[in-house]
Amino acid sequence: MKYRFQGEMTVPGDKSIAHRAIILGALAKGVTQISNFSFSEDLSTTVKLFQDLGVKMHIEPTTKDMIIKGSNHEFNPITHNLNLNNVGELQSLIMGMLSTIPDTYTLSGGKFLDKRPFDNLALLLTDMGVGLNRLSSDYLPLEITGSNKLQGITYQQDIASAQIKSGLIFASLYADSKTEILRKMPTRNHTEVLANYFGADIVTDQNVITVNPKNTQLIGQNLTIPGDFSSAAFYIVGALLAENSHLVLRHVGLNSTRIGLLDVIKQMGGNIEITNRSNNSVEPFGDLTIVNQKLHSTTIGAKQVPFIIDEIPLIALMASQASGETIIEDVHDVHLQMSDRITNMRVELAKLGIIMTVNDDSIVIKGNQTIHVKDDVDSHDDHRIAMMLCIASNLIDTPFQIKNIEAIDISYPDFISDMKKVLFAG
Ligand SMILES: O=C(O)C1=C[C@@H](OP(=O)(O)O)[C@@H](O)[C@H](O)C1
Ligand SMILES: C=C(OP(=O)(O)O)C(=O)O
């Protein structure tokens, strides 16, 4: 049903930052205190994994902060069988981290990860001296044997993936020599920012990232996680598209490698006001004010894609309601996310009468498309598709059912109840 977005809200803490903060807190010496830590299925998996590694962590009952007692890079595991439970981010980050531990662990994946290739990172880790033993095919499960005598490498990055880069950085933190990443294009940089905050020595200079592992000693820290821009994105697009909307989102993370959606909106003739910017934390944040606006088409180039990587379903919906034809180039890697995010988006949008053409590596979305329900839709267990379809439902009067809606629990379990608080009729 058509509602306007009105009022003020905050979104849960950033999932990408929280994953890294847990890993760094677990590796560090001393206590780490994480404020604005938001539980989701993905983060529960990470917490469980580190508890399996013997790391003590708990939620402080009054502040709700996550408290981690650092292991000082020495785990005392309860089990050597670790389940990644389909968390894509964890696959690379944990492979990198376990590479530095002289012990053998078995990593299993889940229905999506069991089909997601990890060859790119695996080759790099093998070059550094990590033992990798595939237990069945080219995918998980995998046996990984780390070492405290890894050699740093030079990696000419051919895939613009923050996950591969981050896996390599974690593996390099305790190596015997430096690692250089000659990057193809920038990707989200939370690993570099947070690892340095905990005491690592990672230098980003133009297009070279250098990890200097000499005597790495990570020290536990206090940090506050900003609101997750990728969760805020649903309300940003929701309010832009819904008539008479006026919504303020407070304390949203504004790391420049995450907020490509704001540039896309600008290219489409829209404007989001940013106020109360703050750099007084590890990661920048601020408030966003969104009003309903008319948008036009744009072309989103390959260099922008890493900065909008999780917002592609939403951008497709937004483009279908703008004037003209929008192109998003080089989305090849998005096919690998979840259960082939691009194909599933295309199939489900078509059930709402929205045509999106998928070419070799790009997608094309015609503008001014009328949404009309042809069939009930399905999230395909992809949280971002599920939430995008909720935003689409607010643009028409005809109700439809979203099957497997519970996928939203992967990143934002309170999405629907939070949204209802800022939706008003008329
Ligand atoms: O490093 C990260 O935390 C992430 C990187 C991105 O994946 P890629 O590195 O595969 O682009 C993104 O899509 C994912 O949600 C989280
Ligand atoms: C694709 C995502 O994450 P992952 O790579 O961890 O599955 C996402 O959060 O949208």
- pLDDT tens, residue order, the chain (426 aa): 799 999 999 999 999 999 999 999 999 999 999 999 999 999 999 999 999 999 999 999 999 999 999 999 999 999 999 999 999 999 999 999 999 999 999 999 998 888 888 889 999 999 999 999 988 777 889 999 999 999 999 999 989 999 999 999 999 999 999 999 999 899 999 999 999 999 999 999 989 999 999 888 999 999 999 999 999 999 999 999 999 999 999 999 999 999 999 999 999 999 999 999 998 889 999 999 999 999 999 999 999 999 999 999 999 999 999 999 999 999 988 888 887 999 999 999 999 999 999 998 899 999 999 999 999 999 999 999 999 999 999 999 999 999 999 999 999 999 999 999 999 997
CA distance 386 to 41: 15
Q: Is there a catalytic annotation at residue 310? A: yes
Q: Is the CB of 88 under 6 A from ligand 2?
A: yes
Distance 425 CA to ligand 1 centre (A): 36
Distances (CA, A) of 412 to 44, 224, 285, 295, 416: 12, 18, 19, 27, 9
Tell me what pLDDT residue 50 has: 98
- Residue ranges, comma separated, of all CATH 3.65.10.10 domains in the chain are 4-12+226-424, 15-224
> 81-83 and 285-291: which strand pairing?
unpaired
Which residues make beta-bridge pairs with 378?
Answer: 403
DSSP letter for 226, please: P
Tell me what pLDDT residue 337 has: 84
The answer to whether 420 is a known ligand-binding residue is no
Q: Is the CB of 310 under 6 A from ligand 2?
A: yes
Beta carbons within 8 Å of 114's beta carbon, 6+ residues apart: 139, 140, 141
The answer to whether 346 is a known ligand-binding residue is no
Tell me what pLDDT residue 74 has: 97
Q: Is the CB of 14 under 6 A from ligand 1?
A: no
Q: Is the CB of 287 under 6 A from ligand 2?
A: no
Distance 342 CA to ligand 2 centre (A): 13
Helices (H), 198-324: 229-241, 260-267, 312-321
- Give the CATH class of 15-224: alpha beta
Closest to 193 (Cα-Cα) out of 383, 391, 398, 17: 17
Tell me what pLDDT residue 397 has: 94
CA distance 348 to 386: 10
Task: For a ligand 2 pocket test, name from 159, 310, 331 the mutation site with the most ligand atoms within 8 angstroms of its C-beta.
Answer: 310
The CA-based dihedral angle spanning residues 326, 329, 331, 332, taken in that order and rounded to the nearest 10 degrees: 140
Residues 14, 42, 287, 310: which is the catalytic one? 310
Nearest CA to ligand 2 atom 9: 310
Helix axes 229-241, 383-393, angle to 10 degrees: 20
Q: Which pair of structure tokens corresponds to residue 184?
A: 């193809």
The answer to whether 20 is a known ligand-binding residue is yes
ipTM confidence: 0.96
The CATH number of the domain covering residues in 4-12+226-424:
3.65.10.10
Distance 220 CA to ligand 2 centre (A): 27
